[in-house]
Amino acid sequence: MVPITKKAFMPGELVHTNQIMVLLGDNYFLETSAKQAQAICSRRLNECDKLLEELQKELELVQGWKSQAKELEEESEGCKDIREEYTEQELESWRKNHRESVRRERMAAAKSDKGVSSKPEQSDEDLWARLEELEVREALEKEWEEESSGDERVDEEDGEDEDEDEDEDEDE
């Protein structure tokens, strides 16, 4: 007799006792040996344990966030919001004054821009003359730099020659 429920039994025989049907998922089953079924079950249990540990870590993070939020709430109980009372008339007068000051600023900026652009423009001849002047100045500066660096080299070479002369006098 094979038990079906606690109280129901049916006549039957056990055949292929080492073969077990294992659910793979999506109603797919695999017929395997008891040893392979045990390995599948142990892998699934390990995955469940890993998932449980990750969830535990997440829970600890969430609890930490909750405790920090409570601490901030307790700290903020002594604080007050800054609120300024105003009426619609005050707001409208502020807007009107603000518009007027913005207009004045724009007009002042426009006047200053007109003043800048009112400079007489230079002709092409004046621009080319100024460019020539700047090129001559740059060339002179390069010459002065070369002369000053050349003088330093000459001084260094003279100092080395004097040292060699002194060495030769000592040898004689």
The pLDDT score that the predictor gives to residue 17 is 85
Residue 34 has pLDDT above 60, yes or no: yes
Residue 132 has pLDDT above 90, yes or no: yes
pLDDT in tens, 64-109: 999 999 998 888 887 888 888 889 999 999 999 999 999 999 999 9
Q: Mean pLDDT in the chain?
A: 85
The pLDDT score that the predictor gives to residue 3 is 86
3-state DSSP assignment of residue 80: coil
Residue 152 has pLDDT above 80, yes or no: no
The pLDDT score that the predictor gives to residue 46 is 97
**Beta-bridge partners for 51:** none
CB 11 within 8 A of CB 2: yes
Residue 172 has pLDDT above 80, yes or no: no
Residue 156 has pLDDT above 70, yes or no: no
Residue 137 has pLDDT above 80, yes or no: yes
CB 19 within 8 A of CB 30: no
pTM of the predicted model, to two decimals?
Answer: 0.37
pLDDT in tens, 107-124: 999 888 776 555 557 788
Rounded Cα distance, 124 and 99, in Å: 44
SS3 percent helix, strand, coil of the chain, rounded to 5, is: 70, 10, 20
Rounded Cα distance, 2 and 15, in Å: 12
The pLDDT score that the predictor gives to residue 104 is 94
Of 6-10, 56-60, 126-130, the range with the highest mean pLDDT is 56-60
Rounded Cα distance, 64 and 57, in Å: 11
**Using the 8-state DSSP alphabet, how is residue 17 labeled?**
T
Rounded Cα distance, 101 and 93, in Å: 12
